[in-house]
Amino acid sequence: MRTRDGSVLGDMIAGAIGGAIATWAMGEVTTYLYDHEAKPAREAEDRARGGDTAYGAAAQKVARLAGTTLTNADRQRYGTVIHWGMGVGAAALYGALRDRVPGSPLARGLLFGTAVWLLMDEGAVYALGLTPGPTHFPWQTHARGLAGHLVFGAVTDAALAVLPA
C-alpha cells in the first residue's frame, strides 16, 4: 500500500498537524456539549472529578515525581499541554498507520477516535489514578467523550486527506 509521501516520518508529521486541528475541534465540540448538558449531569461529573480534569491530575502527579507541587494555574496550564501532547502524539501515530491499514478513510478515522476514547477516557485515566472509575460518572460524560473523540478521529483523517503528500 502506498503511503502519503513514502516515509513514515512524513506521515507522522502530517498526522501531528491533523491531530492539532482535531484536538482543537474536539475541544470545541465537547465544551459545547458540556455547556448544554442538564445541570444535574454536570454537577455529578464535577463531583466525581473533584473539580479537576484528568490532565490536571496528570500534571500534578508528574510534578510530585519531580519533587514539586503546582499552583492551580500551573496545574491547568500543564494539564492543557499534556492534553494537546496526547492528541498530537496519538494522531502522529495514526498518520503513520493510516495508509498502511485497509479500509475506508472515514471508517478508519472513526475507529481511531473510538479507540482513543476507549483507551484513554474509559481506561488509562482510571488505571493511572487520575479519575475515579467509569461507573462514577453519569452516562452523559461517556457520551460526550465518545462524541468528542469521534470528531477527533474524523477531523484527523480529513486533515490527512487534504494535507499535501
pLDDT of residue 12: 94
pLDDT one-digit tens code per residue, 113-154: 999 999 999 999 999 999 999 999 999 999 999 999 999 999
pLDDT of residue 93: 96
The verdict on residue 31 lying in a domain is yes
pLDDT of residue 36: 95
The three-state secondary structure class of 103 is coil
Contact 152, 10 (CB under 8 A): no
The verdict on residue 57 lying in a domain is no
Model-wide pTM > 0.75: yes
Please give the angle made by the CA atoms of 88, 162 and 159, to the nearest 5 degrees: 25
The verdict on residue 144 lying in a domain is yes
The verdict on residue 56 lying in a domain is no
The verdict on residue 29 lying in a domain is yes
Contact 79, 55 (CB under 8 A): yes
d(CA 28, CA 8): 30
pLDDT of residue 1: 38
pLDDT one-digit tens code per residue, 49-79: 888 899 999 999 999 999 999 999 999 999 9
Least confident among 11-20, 22-31, 102-111, 153-162 = 102-111
Contact 144, 37 (CB under 8 A): yes
pLDDT of residue 103: 83
The verdict on residue 92 lying in a domain is yes
The verdict on residue 37 lying in a domain is yes
pLDDT of residue 5: 55
pLDDT of residue 99: 84
pLDDT one-digit tens code per residue, 15-42: 999 999 999 999 999 999 999 999 999 9
- Name the domain count of the chain: 1
The verdict on residue 1 lying in a domain is no
More confident residue, 101 or 46: 46
DSSP 8-state class, residue 2: -
Range of the domain at 139: 8-51+85-162
pLDDT of residue 136: 94
pLDDT of residue 4: 53
pLDDT of residue 165: 64
Q: What are phi and psi of 142, to 5 degrees?
A: -65, -40
DSSP output for 80-125: HHHHHHHHHHHHHHHHHHHTTS-S-HHHHHHHHHHHHIIIIIIIIH
pLDDT of residue 6: 65
